[in-house]
Amino acid sequence: MGVTLKQLAASLGLSPTTVSRALNGFPEVNATTRARVRDAALKANYHPNTRAKSLATGRAQAIGHVIPVSTSHEIVNPIFADFIAGAGEVYSRSGYEMILRVVADADEASAYGNLIARGAVDGVMVHGPRVHDPRVDLLAGLKIPFLIHGRTSNVNAPYSWLDINNHRSFHRATQFLLDFGHRRIALINGLEDMDFASRRRNGYLEALASAGIAPDPLLMRQAEMTEPYGYRAAQEMMQLPDPPTAYLASSMIVAYGLRRGFSDLGLKLGRDVSVVTHDDELSYLPNDGDVPMFTATQSSVREAGRRAARMLLQLVTDPDCGPLSELMETSLVLGASTGPAAR
Amino acid sequence: MGVTLKQLAASLGLSPTTVSRALNGFPEVNATTRARVRDAALKANYHPNTRAKSLATGRAQAIGHVIPVSTSHEIVNPIFADFIAGAGEVYSRSGYEMILRVVADADEASAYGNLIARGAVDGVMVHGPRVHDPRVDLLAGLKIPFLIHGRTSNVNAPYSWLDINNHRSFHRATQFLLDFGHRRIALINGLEDMDFASRRRNGYLEALASAGIAPDPLLMRQAEMTEPYGYRAAQEMMQLPDPPTAYLASSMIVAYGLRRGFSDLGLKLGRDVSVVTHDDELSYLPNDGDVPMFTATQSSVREAGRRAARMLLQLVTDPDCGPLSELMETSLVLGASTGPAAR
DNA sequence: TCGCTTTTCCAAAGCGCTTTGGATTTCGGC
DNA sequence: GCCGAAATCCAAAGCGCTTTGGAAAAGCGA
């Protein structure tokens, strides 16, 4: 509980009005008084009460993030931490607060409604969109700026989004493996009701199709992206009569699982079997160096957080700036995990 | 922007006072009117404006979390996501908001001051305490309830904390390896200006000492806990004239790095070399099954988040309930990564 | 029915800020 | 030295809620 505007004003022999205007840079106040006010504010460690301010102005100066936790698996996607770190940087710089809600995905809809009806936020960031995500129509109806990290389909309302080019990434990765002579390429995907996973699958299928290869259901999996998931996929698929020679992994974590699976089978990555993974560039799982461990489609999710936050803030400041969108391309970096198809 | 109290009251032909009291369960309102009010509120989708409410009551109904991002390495500790998921559960249930700030660790002090002076939060959760953390004295001076996830030393003010028994964990883990006949045990630690890493180191050293073994600086490392850090540690230490036969890892991520390092050297975990790691039970890196991959000192950081949040809320509701603290013991689970010292 | 206690409701002030609509002072131009 | 305009400042209302201090209505025993 710091000093209040009124107290500060009294101590200066000024009215609250003038002090408020002095601090907020309004023109109708003498330069010398302004300096005097600023000095006093600094000295008294005055910070305007956020609640009072936003009540008076009608702007909350806060952005809401709703983090879904899948009820079935209780898994928190590790990319949230980095995304939020990126977004948080931008918010702090712009004087916005980030308010976070962790909700079981079933309660997500009500979480948004609640957050907004209470006037707690000026805008909302939507995480983990599904292929057909009802939240978009819901939020559009609530008349509040929002931005999706990812995209969705089969939705009427126009919406703003920032996504990476998942389709192209996995199309390219598949093509890369095909060029190396691989014909049996496995896809170790995330849950395909998630929009990103669905697009990746499509990219993969298209590349196969244009190479005249029929997809093999035995080589396609989807699940929560844990390390053991990758491990099991590797172990089991290698038992197939006609095992894959290359794998597409949906995340570094899964790729690590794959790697361990192969290693336990005595197979060497890049020689006996190839892996291309998507890499969100999480800070504690760097995939760099002269020769990165994995060949990967790379895109920094932290940078995505920064950009998404900037877009959302723009949407908040100028609600009519129309639906915004940005498609980030990934870069395909060559690592040690790929090589020509063994034959 | 939903309906306001005043509008709701007008539509019911009641005063705002009565409506407020009806909704907040005060006794001085007729049961039938209360029912009428509740119905109307529901139908109108009325939610009290958080800002107005907290301005009137003086309570923010929010908890602040300040996430430090090490400026040098730009690394976000992956445990934050799970800790926050746990804490978030508790906050939602108790009607508290979680407000998050991501700050470069240099600006951390001012972030707290700012957050509190603005009246934005009723309490603060402190993450990633250092061995001697100035934030404790700072927060104690600010007269606001706070709780540290971890502990710190050399601090005057009493404070509340929740921690795992890092000392005992690593003492026990070391002892376990000693019992297996290992004499050359390496410690692949986190940065030792962090309190948790310092305690682990002490536990390790004590166990060595009581076995009459002098610590070897060549076998002790500290750094940010990334996967490549573990990898390099494994590769380099195995080149030593007298290499370690067992390793203590500070996190699963580091343990994965170690594993990869050994595997590239053709060494098998549990047979050629032993590893005990600490496992925070992150959802996407489960270390379970009949025989977990790693022998580990386990403790759920998600559960820690839940408990810490509950403690902090208690501190907020009843500021005089004295400094609270809880020391969570870890369990040592036997996995496939340990075996008797090869000789 | 009267006087008293309870019950049930409300008017108004206030939380800390912004902002509208003046009031007062200062200043340039003649 | 006088006048209108520009420069400075301020009083007061209001944001949406809670809460104090009554007032009116209802219930009760006699």
Instruction: List, for residues B317-332, the tens digit of each pLDDT value.
Output: 998 888 999 999 999 9
**Same-domain pairing of B140 and B197:** no
* CB contact A117 to B (< 8 Å): yes
Task: Write the single-letter amino acid at A224.
Answer: E
Residues 6+ apart with CB under 8 A from B109: B134, B135, B138
**Same-domain pairing of B197 and B267:** yes
Torsion of CA A71, A73, A79, A83, to 10 degrees: 10
pLDDT band at A63 (very low <50, low <70, confident <90, very high): very high
Q: Tokens in use for A269?
A: 């990555």
**Same-domain pairing of B312 and B261:** no
pLDDT band at A106 (very low <50, low <70, confident <90, very high): confident
Residue A318 lies in a domain: yes
pLDDT higher than threshold 60 for residue B341 = yes
State how far Cα A44 lies from the chain centre.
40
**Same-domain pairing of B139 and B188:** no
* Rounded (10°) angle between helices A5-12 and A31-43: 120
| Separation between Cα atoms, residue A213 and residue B151, nearest integer Å | 58
CA–C1' B12–C2 (A): 35
- For B71-90, the pLDDT digits (tens) are 666 788 899 999 999 999 99
**Same-domain pairing of A177 and A295:** yes
- Region A59-67 average pLDDT: 92
Residues 6+ apart with CB under 8 A from B32: none
B255 three-class SS: helix
Sequence-ordered strand ranges (E) for A115-199: 123-126, 146-149, 160-164, 185-189
Chain B positions touching A100 (Cβ under 8 A) are 84, 88, 98-100
* CB contact A157 to B (< 8 Å): no
**Same-domain pairing of A173 and A292:** yes
Whole-number pLDDT of residue B169: 98
CATH number of the domain to which B12 belongs: 1.10.260.40
**Same-domain pairing of B183 and B257:** yes
Q: How far is CA B170 from CA B78, B186, B217, B269, B291, in A?
A: 21, 12, 17, 19, 21
Whole-number pLDDT of residue B343: 55
Are B340 and B180 spatial neighbours (Cβ–Cβ below 8 Å)? yes
- For B111-140, the pLDDT digits (tens) are 888 888 788 999 999 999 999 998 898 898
Residue B334 lies in a domain: no
Residue A24 lies in a domain: yes
Q: B223-251 as b/e, with b when 16 or more CB fall inside 10 Å?
A: bbbbbbbbbbbbbebbeeeeebbbbbbbb
Average pLDDT, chain B: 93
Whole-number pLDDT of residue B145: 94
Whole-number pLDDT of residue A67: 86
Residue B88 lies in a domain: yes
> Mind telling me how many Å the CA of B65 is from chain A's nearest CA?
10
Our count of domains for chain B comes to 3
State how far Cα A154 lies from the chain centre.
21
* A interface test, pick of B57, B80, B98, B102 with most A CB neighbours within 10 Å: B102
**Same-domain pairing of B117 and B172:** no
Contact A117 B284 (CB under 8 A): no
Q: List residue ranges whose Cβ is under 7 angstroms from nucleic strand C.
A: A 1, 4-6, 16-17, 20-21, 23-24, 28, 46-49, 52-53, 55-57; B 13-18, 21, 28-31, 33, 52, 55-56, 58, 119
Nucleotide with smallest C1' distance to residue B4 CA? D16
pLDDT higher than threshold 80 for residue B105 = no
Q: How far is CA A223 from CA B9, B254, B286, in A?
A: 51, 25, 14
Contact A76 B77 (CB under 8 A): no
CA–C1' A14–C24 (A): 15
**Same-domain pairing of A172 and A153:** no
Between B75, B103, B118, which is nearest A92 by CB? B103
pLDDT higher than threshold 90 for residue A159 = yes
Chain A positions touching B114 (Cβ under 8 A) are 47
Domain that holds residue A33: 5-48
Taking alpha carbons only, the member of A204, A192, A115 closest to residue A153 is A192
Contact B283 A92 (CB under 8 A): no
Whole-number pLDDT of residue B76: 85
Chain A positions touching B253 (Cβ under 8 A) are 284-285
| Separation between Cα atoms, residue A99 and residue A62, nearest integer Å | 7
* CB contact A262 to B (< 8 Å): no
* CB contact B56 to A (< 8 Å): no
Give the neighbor-by-neighbor strand order of the sheet with B295-298.
B220-222, B185-189, B246-249, B274-279, B295-298, B331-333
Between A49, A92, A119, which is nearest B118 by CB? A49
Nucleotide with smallest C1' distance to residue A15 CA? D10
| Strand A325-328 to A295-298 pairing | unpaired
Taking alpha carbons only, the member of A5, A62, A76, A60 closest to residue A37 is A5
Chain B positions touching A44 (Cβ under 8 A) are none
Contact B226 A284 (CB under 8 A): yes
**Same-domain pairing of A68 and A139:** yes
Whole-number pLDDT of residue B118: 83
Chain B positions touching A77 (Cβ under 8 A) are 284
Q: Which positions on strand C lie below 7 Å from a protein C-beta?
A: 7-12, 14-22
Are A197 and A189 spatial neighbours (Cβ–Cβ below 8 Å)? yes
A28 three-class SS: coil
* CB contact A343 to B (< 8 Å): no
Chain A positions touching B121 (Cβ under 8 A) are none
- Region A153-160 average pLDDT: 87
Q: Tokens in use for A169?
A: 């990434």
Between B82, B102, B285, which is nearest A227 by CB? B285
Residue B336 lies in a domain: no
Q: Tokens in use for A40?
A: 């006093």
Chain A positions touching B228 (Cβ under 8 A) are 286, 289
pLDDT band at A210 (very low <50, low <70, confident <90, very high): very high
Q: How far is CA B289 from CA A256, B241, B276, B286, in A?
A: 18, 36, 17, 9
> Mind telling me how many Å the CA of B209 is from chain A's nearest CA?
33
Q: Tokens in use for A183?
A: 């014909």
Q: How far is CA B205 from CA B13, B170, B186, B214, B223, in A?
A: 74, 9, 11, 9, 18
Chain B positions touching A228 (Cβ under 8 A) are 286, 289
Residue B340 lies in a domain: no
Whole-number pLDDT of residue A343: 55
* CB contact B95 to A (< 8 Å): no
Percent of chain A with pLDDT over 70: 99
Q: Which positions on strand D lie below 7 Å from a protein C-beta?
A: 7-12, 14-22
CA–C1' B25–C10 (A): 17
**Same-domain pairing of B32 and B115:** no
Interface of A with B in 73-92 (CB under 8 A): 73-78, 80-82, 84-85, 87-89, 92
Q: Tokens in use for A195?
A: 């929009």
Residue A335 lies in a domain: no
pLDDT higher than threshold 70 for residue A72 = no
Residue B338 lies in a domain: no
| Strand B160-164 to B325-328 pairing | parallel
CATH number of the domain to which B270 belongs: 3.40.50.2300
* CB contact A283 to B (< 8 Å): yes
* CB contact A54 to B (< 8 Å): yes
pTM over 0.85? The answer is yes
**Same-domain pairing of A9 and A41:** yes
- For A295-319, the pLDDT digits (tens) are 999 999 999 999 999 999 999 999 8
